[in-house]
Amino acid sequence: MEVIDNMVGDANLVSTQSNLKEMIAFVPQIQDKLKIMEAALNQISVGKVEEGDVPESSFGYIPIDLGDFFDSLFDLEAALIADSEFKDADLAHRRVDLVEVGCGSGRNVFLATATDRFEFGKVHGFDLSAPLIEHGRQIFAKGKDLFVADCMEFDYAPYDVVYFYRPFSDEAAQQRFEDRLVDNLSPGAYVIGCGNLSFPDDRRLLAKCENGRLFKKLR
Ligand SMILES: C[S@@+](CC[C@H](N)C(=O)[O-])C[C@H]1O[C@@H](n2cnc3c(N)ncnc32)[C@H](O)[C@@H]1O
């Protein structure tokens, strides 16, 4: 605000100053509105569903903060636009197929495909919890794009992008998952690993962002 208060004298600057102040005053309200909508969506996503038996080494369903989720998608988009391997004659980058590991009932899959804002081809999500997947199929109408699977056995090779947010609470299990995922990932594919333990030190991966979450598998 101090920077804005110092913009005195020039009539254009004074009007810009007052517009900026008005805009800044709205920011907390906008944040509150987004948080309320996020909380409502989270309640709908889970409903009254019992997750079923989750192994002790796994996390239950803890939805990622939506701001972080969208930041990851914007970072991905910027990296794909800059990556010549993903060039497209008509689009900002060629469409990519994405899979979400441990998607719960599929809230993020639903959001990523709710508009044509992002250039996705297929967007799939899977989770170990059958009741959450069944609930998600009903409320998000995503059919077979949501399915039950175990991330330690899943084949990641067909996908251009894999997204996860810590399926495992146990660090050793999380490490084994990350190692297997990177091994199985196709060369040139991207991984968004929220809460990953090993990616910055993994020589099979190239960092694509400074936040320690977005990586590309080397060829
Ligand atoms: C921390 S939550 C992340 C939720 C969601 N991915 C997000 O980003 O909002 C972890 C999810 O991983 C799932 N999960 C745990 N172990 C799994 C496994 N072995 N295979 C597939 N999903 C698993 C849990 O059921 C839970 O829904």
Nearest CA to 93 among 68, 106, 76, 70? 76
Domain ranges of the chain: 2-46, 66-217
DSSP 8-state assignment for residue 58: B
Q: Tell me, what's the pLDDT at 8?
A: 58
Task: Measure the CA–CA gap between 214 and 199, rounded to whole angstroms.
Answer: 9
The overall pTM is greater than 0.85 = yes
| DSSP letters for 164-210 | EE--BSSHHHHHHHHHHHHHHSPTT-EEEEET-SSGGG-TTEEE-ST
pLDDT tens, residue by residue, 1-54? 666 666 556 778 888 989 999 999 999 999 999 999 999 999 999 999 998 888
- Looking from the CA of residue 103, the nearest atom of ligand 1 is 6
Q: Tell me, what's the pLDDT at 159?
A: 98
DSSP 8-state assignment for residue 64: P
Dist. CA 3 → ligand 1 center (Å)? 44
Longest CA span, the chain = 67
pLDDT tens digits for the chain (219 residues)?
666 666 556 778 888 989 999 999 999 999 999 999 999 999 999 999 998 888 999 999 999 999 999 999 999 999 999 999 999 999 999 999 999 999 999 999 999 999 999 999 999 999 999 999 999 999 999 999 999 999 999 999 999 999 999 999 999 999 999 999 999 999 999 999 999 999 999 999 999 999 999 999 999
Nearest CA to 156 among 178, 176, 185, 179? 185
Task: Measure the CA–CA gap between 70 and 50, rounded to whole angstroms.
Answer: 27
**What CATH number labels 66-217?**
3.40.50.150
Residues 6+ away with beta carbon under 8 Å from 102: 59, 61, 126, 127, 128, 151, 164, 165, 167
Q: Tell me, what's the pLDDT at 13?
A: 86
Dist. CA 120 → ligand 1 center (Å)? 22
Ligand 1 pocket test: pick from 49, 50, 58 the residue with the most ligand atoms within 8 Å of its Cβ: 58
